[in-house]
Amino acid sequence: MKILHLADLHIGKKINEFSMIEDQKFILKQILKIIDNIKPDVIIIAGDVYDKTIPTVEAVEVLDNFIFEISKRRINTFIISGNHDSAERLSFGAKILKFGKIYISPVFEGKVSKYTLTDEKGEINFYLLPFLKPVNVKKYFPNEEIISYNDAAKLMVKNMNIDISQRNILIAHQFVTESKESENISDQINVGEIDNISSDIFGDFDYVALGHIHRAYSIGKNKRVRYCGSPLKYSLSEINVEKSVTVVELDSKNDFKMKTIPLIPLRNMQVIKGSFEEISKKSFYCDMNTKNFTAITLTDENDIPNALQKLRNIYENILKLDYDNKRTQKYNSINLKKIEKENPFDIFSEFYELQNNQKMTTEQEEIMKNLIDEIWEMEL
């Protein structure tokens, strides 16, 4: 059985107030082309389908079109809600969608949905576990000790009553890690306040299709617990990350294959560093994709007036503009006792040098002297 694993679409996402809708339409069309090319038996979307619990009308239309295109192809598709989704909104119309072989995890009521498909190798079970907090599970199991996310997930897996003689696939949207001894553990930390779940509790599954982490990687030596990553870069921290979809082939319990297919975005992300004059030259920006989402670092010692507005005439989608110079590279402190004995001009001169790591120019000194004289005249 061939499975296409997707997750973290985040339809309706904005980065620094730039709408990603056109980028998402573009990448979803690309995914549809991949579907037509590889012809999967199953499609998985492992949560964070929307970026907001209350998606915009435009975001709903984008997902509606994507699901409609999949349903026309009559491919079994399993979708769960993530922490960015509203389970109630995402599962609206789920009963009707089943006629198009689209199966959406319902609002959690104490049990996990299970769907069984059959191929030439026999039955294969799909378990749909939406994003859950311990409190969601505790509500239905008041007598169980459920403190952590791991406790909640472990209990849910236990109650699935898995038949390990069959092939079993779990779809989940949680923060899953290996044991502390894992060589990859450094890649799986610092994801906010989401408590981790040990991959050990998923040992009875033949594949665990995860969502939640935006970078694609597998957990464990057998590579069967995997984050497929988001289809687009949604943060500057992902600039050097290649995006892809994951394709899994599970013909039997022992016959497991996995590969990735790269995705090419409409607009990529890039970082540019240099002086304002340098990066404004045609000879420089002609070698760049000026439509990409761009972070710019200026090396000029003095701030450039209206730099952001001027540079946006060249680089359309600037996400961030900052400076890297003597002023920003060093932190200095001011001796408060010392300044009580100095005159206003000397105090400001010292403050300016501490803040900018350079002295004022002669012209700047003259301006400050005149300004201080005017202020002191008004005080007299």
Q: What does the domain layout of the chain look like in residue ranges?
A: 2-262, 269-328, 330-379
Residues written for the chain: 380
The Cα–Cα gap between 67 and 47 comes to 14
Q: What pLDDT is recorded for position 16?
A: 87
Cβ distance 173 to 128 under 8 Å? no
**Which pLDDT tens digit goes with each residue over 249-283?**
999 888 999 999 999 999 999 999 999 999 998 87
Q: What pLDDT is recorded for position 368?
A: 79
The Cα–Cα gap between 209 and 129 comes to 10
Cα first-last separation, the chain: 89
AA identity, residue 212:
H
Q: What pLDDT is recorded for position 378?
A: 47
Which residue in 307, 303, 302, 331 sits closest to 320, CA to CA? Answer: 307
The Cα–Cα gap between 352 and 366 comes to 14
Assign 36 to helix, strand or coil.
helix
Q: What percent of the chain has pLDDT over 70?
A: 89
For strand 293-298 and strand 255-262, is the pairing parallel, antiparallel, or unpaired? unpaired
Q: What pLDDT is recorded for position 335?
A: 56
The Cα–Cα gap between 284 and 261 comes to 32
Question: Over the chain, what is the mean pLDDT?
Answer: 87
State the burial class of residue 70 (Cβ atoms within 10 Å of its Cβ: 0-12, 13-18, 19+): buried
The Cα–Cα gap between 295 and 319 comes to 6
Mean pLDDT by groups of 10 residues along the chain of 380 residues: 96 92 97 97 96 94 95 95 90 82 91 93 95 93 92 94 94 84 40 69 95 92 92 90 95 92 95 92 84 92 90 92 79 54 72 76 77 58
Q: What pLDDT is recorded for position 194?
A: 45
The Cα–Cα gap between 46 and 170 comes to 10
For strand 244-252 and strand 2-6, is the pairing parallel, antiparallel, or unpaired? antiparallel
Q: Which residue has the tokens 């040098």?
A: 353
Q: Which two tokens stand for residue 46?
A: 């492992």
State the burial class of residue 209 (Cβ atoms within 10 Å of its Cβ: 0-12, 13-18, 19+): buried
Secondary structure letter of residue 243 according to DSSP:
P
Q: What pLDDT is recorded for position 184?
A: 40
The Cα–Cα gap between 16 and 14 comes to 6
The whole-model pTM stands at 0.81
Alpha helices in 92-170 (DSSP H): 94-97, 134-138, 149-158
Q: Per the CATH hierarchy, to which homologous superfamily does domain 2-262 belong?
A: Metallo-dependent phosphatases (3.60.21.10)
